[in-house]
Amino acid sequence: MIILRKGGINVIYGYVRVSSRDQHTDRQMDAMSTYQIPEKNIFVDRQSGKDFERPAYRKMIRKLKKGDVLVVKSIDRLDIRVIDMPLLNTQEDENGITRVFIADLVLQILAYVAQTEREFIRERQKEGIASARARGVRFGRPERKIPDNFREICDQWEKVEISGREAARRLDVDLKTFKKWASLTADKG
């Protein structure tokens, strides 16, 4: 059941977090677009989730009202405190008796989480790559252009006047690249 805000309007927000400045938010932002969240309602932090000292997170929390909807790509992007069920908290509670009581259970759960997190990381990586490719990002080294003097050097190699290594050295490429070029030009006839 959704409880409407005063005036009958619920607001949808999105929260995106990556652990460092050099990580990309593309995968999470793509997920936000599925829910048609206005850009002004998406809060992005580029820092660790170890504490609540995250500016966008704090700003978002101040805006959330009863009945609003918060979208996150993954639960590990958010911190939750359930007052009447501390077992569900995603924060550490140093003095809680419940924490001591369920320590063994938590260790087993953490082992499971570590295993599945590795799988999630691979999946997120695949999603991130797919997202980047959809926007036209190319991966790997840019392909080198075959130099103008290639045909002359390749002819010398084909006549066994020079070795493949020497041909590659003269073209300033490795032997594998030279042989790839040689096979490509041979195919073109």
Please name which of 114, 17, 93, 27 lies closest in space to residue 58, comparing C-alpha atoms.
Answer: 17
19 is catalytic: yes
pLDDT value for 19: 83
**Mean pLDDT in residue range 35-61:** 86
Rounded-to-10 torsion of CA 100, 103, 106, 110: 120
Can you give the residue range of the structural domain that contains 89? 85-140
pLDDT value for 177: 92
Are 97 and 163 in the same domain? no
Are 71 and 17 in the same domain? yes
Are 39 and 103 in the same domain? no
86-100, 138-152, 168-182: least confident range: 86-100
Could you tell me if 143 and 177 are in contact, meaning their C-beta atoms sit under 8 angstroms apart? Answer: no
- Of the pLDDT bands very low, low, confident and very high (cuts 50, 70, 90), residue 186 is confident
Q: Which residues lie closer than 8 Å to 78 by C-beta, 6 or more apart?
A: 15, 17, 70, 72, 90
Are 89 and 63 in the same domain? no
- More confident position, 145 or 141: 145
d(CA 156, CA 12): 68
Given the residues 19, 48, 131, 163, select the one marked as catalytic: 19
